[in-house]
Amino acid sequence: MSFLSKLFGKSTKTSEAADLAVLKCDVHSHFIPGIDDGAQTMEDSVALIREFYNLGYKKVITTPHILSDGYKNTPEIILGGLEKVRVALKHENIPIQIEAAAEYYIDFDFDRKLEQEKLLTFGKNYLLFEVSYLNPPDNLETIIFKLQMSGYKPVLAHPERYNFWHNKFEKYESLKEKGVLLQMNINSLTGYYGDETKKISEQLIEKNMIDFLGSDCHRMDHVNLIKGEAVYEKALQKLIESGKLLNSTL
């Protein structure tokens, strides 16, 4: 039970696990081995994806990091890795679909990528992006506009994790008004990223502002947290049952 739950004496848990199979598709993970801070070996990748199949998912869309000062991945690197993972899954007889997009970091070089490259997307040209955890980029609104003018549908990864907006809920409302879709991490609802993140997650769900639910899975402990805690969160069940999520349309 989180600190907030203890403080107010109200449990956020339920005894019946949420059925993640309803989602059909996970939209945020790091399953291509050795190219970012997610799976490091093909054995890691296969083990993680097997867990998602066992949870009832029919498809995973894996989204390796692309950032200029860290993981300098390209569409060629990502799609090449995707094919290797597909071969391994077939060899292991794991009947789950896997596709790849990317989690783009809005940094100094993103404008160039947007202008010169065909960016990796999923579904109906959805583009997953993240920003710094320290402060939002000054040009965020401009980037959003440029993405939309280029035909992309911007999806902000884990908005609940950006502490600088926790006391400025109107920022989330402004993003939604601008047409940005919001992707929440399942484990945010457990307090894994902190009690404030859990609290803002619940507020975003209460106001029907979440469009996609993702695992942001990097390692087996993330899967274990989903299975052992997240599925028993009342807010997760409310979100899944709301009918607002787009996961199953992918």
Q: Evaluate if residue 221 carries a pLDDT over 90.
A: yes
pLDDT single digits (tens) 162-186: 999 999 999 999 999 999 999 999 9
Q: Structural domain boundaries of the chain?
A: 18-249
Q: How confident is the model at residue 149 (pLDDT cuts 50, 70, 90)?
A: very high
Q: Does residue 4 have a pLDDT over 70?
A: no
Beta-strand runs (E) in 176-222: 181-185, 212-214
Neighbours of 13 (CB within 10 A): 12
Average pLDDT over residues 203-217: 98
State percent of the chain over pLDDT 70: 96
Question: Alpha-carbon distance 231 to 200, whole Å?
Answer: 18
CB of 199 closer than 8 Å to CB of 192: no
Pick the CATH number of 18-249 from 3.50.50.60, 3.20.20.140, 3.40.640.10, 3.30.930.10: 3.20.20.140
Q: Can you give the pLDDT at residue 114? A: 96
Question: For the segment 57-86, what is each residue's pLDDT rounded down to a tens digit?
Answer: 999 999 999 999 889 999 999 999 999 999
Q: pLDDT of 100-119, one tens digit each?
A: 999 999 999 999 999 999 99
